[in-house]
Structure 1
Amino acid sequence: MAIKRVNPNEAGELTEKVVSLSRVAKVTKGGRTFSFSALVVVGDGNGVVGYGLGKARDVSESIAKGIEDGKKNMIRFPLLNRTIPHTQKGKFSGGKVLMKPATDGTGVIAGGPMRAVLEVAGVHNVLAKSQGSSNPHNVVKATLDALMKLRDPYTIARERGLTLEQLFHQKEK
């Protein structure tokens, strides 16, 4: 399946959230050199999301680099009534996520890094569970893996050569 990359110019007004900010140290002969690493998610609130990693000596500079990196790594996924079209699992390294569509008014029921990704992506109703690794990098990448695997009902019907009525065994609305 092809990755649905998005040009940053095609996306609408982007919002960003800092998922994790870490102070890291490089040990040298002369002592420790401190810098900052920021994991940032960027999205337009309409099914477009990306993540970026920024590293710099200054906090604000590392966040800015993360935002720029996030704009380069954006993907598009289908939204259906402000939720995801179907249940989906995602995996990256030791991090596993499970996402299920939810009815209107449920809200985003997800933990930490996964909540940040889903909120900037524009998902308003979803049930999500993160298992395995709790490392924010792995959880964010596993969430994006699950979002990349999502397909809308029209695409599935077209790929199978069916109508929506045949696909769902019910009348089209």
Structure 2
Amino acid sequence: MTIQQGNKNTTNRFRRDSRNRRDQQPENEYLEKIIYVNRVSKTVKGGRHFGFSVLVCVGDENGSVGIALGKAKAVPDAVRKGFERARKDMVKVDLYKDTVPHPYIGRFGSAEVVIRPAAPGTGVIAGGASRAIFQALGVKDVLVKRIGSKNPVNIAKATMNALKAMRSVGTVAKHRNLAPVQVVTGKGE
């Protein structure tokens, strides 16, 4: 938009500045996924009061991930609360070549999640809550099998328990003051 000012054309500086500021806002550096939305109701004298709980996961697609449950009277508020809490509760996970370093069974309540490393090109073979977590984590190849409970909250927590417990060869070697080769071969001293 140009404005005639005397004899010369000038560009509307205010509109251009606001457009530039909007374009320069940093993009969200985290991948945010909504895993599960649950509506709950409380029956009171005047009728029903509805609330929502939302299970979300946040990850940087580079080895860090967090999950959280946000609760509120409206879905957007619950989602916002969940994402804020998930960002605070992020954990760093040891990965090995776009997959997990070793097989592990994660447990929470009656939910069990069997996690196994996969060959390159396999993809994320997982369902529901586990798939969202591994995508946010940045894992490209993994095999996951859910056993027991179908509750998405418990499955997500079982998956996180497994991921927190996984250790790469390098981490174990550093912890034991050994060379990585000694850890792999089992010759400790």
Counterpart code for 1:58: A
Amino acid at match of 1:42: V
Identity of aligned residues (%): 46
Q: Does 1:133 align with 2:140?
A: no
> How many residues are paired up?
159
1:19 aligns with 2:35: yes
1:104 deviates by 0.8
* Superposed displacement of residue 26, structure 1: 1.2
Instruction: Give the match for residue 17 of structure 2.
Output: none
Report the alpha carbon displacement of residue 111 of structure 1 after superposing the two structures with TM.
Answer: 1.1
Q: 3-state SS of the aligned residue for 1:22?
A: strand
Structure 1: runs of 5 or more not aligned: 1-11
Which region of structure 1 is more displaced relative to structure 2, 132-141 or 46-55?
Answer: 46-55
1:50 counterpart SS class: strand
Of 113-122 and 29-38, more deviation after overlay is shown by 29-38
TM-score normalised to structure 1 length: 0.87
Deviations 1:124-150 (A, max 9, x none): 100111111110000000000000001
**Partner of residue 24, structure 2:** none
- Distance, in Å, in 2 between the alignment partners of 1:117 and 1:61 is 21
Letter in 1 for 2:101: P
Per-residue CA distance 1:1-48 (angstroms, 9 max, x = gap):
xxxxxxxxxxx9111110101111011122110121111011110111
Which of 42, 55, 62 matches 1:46? 62
Residue 161 of structure 1 deviates from its aligned partner by: 3.7
Q: Where does 1:95-110 land on structure 2 (aligned, <5 Å)?
A: 95-110=111-126
5+ long unaligned stretches in structure 2: 1-27
Q: Give 1:129's aligned amino acid.
A: K
Q: How does 1:1-173 map onto structure 2 within 5 Å?
A: 13-169=29-185
Instruction: Specify the SS of the correspondent of 1:155.
Output: helix
Q: Distance in 2 between matches of 1:27 and 1:68?
A: 30
Work out which of the two has the higher radius of gyration on C-alpha atoms and give 1 or 2.
2
Q: 1:87 corresponds to which letter in structure 2?
A: P
* Structure ranking higher on relative contact order (CA contacts 8 Å, 6+ apart): 1
TM-score for the superposition, normalised by structure 2: 0.80
One-letter code of the match for 1:45?
E
Which residue number corresponds to residue 23 of structure 2? none
- Three-state SS of the structure 2 residue aligned to 1:45 is coil
SS at match of 2:97: coil
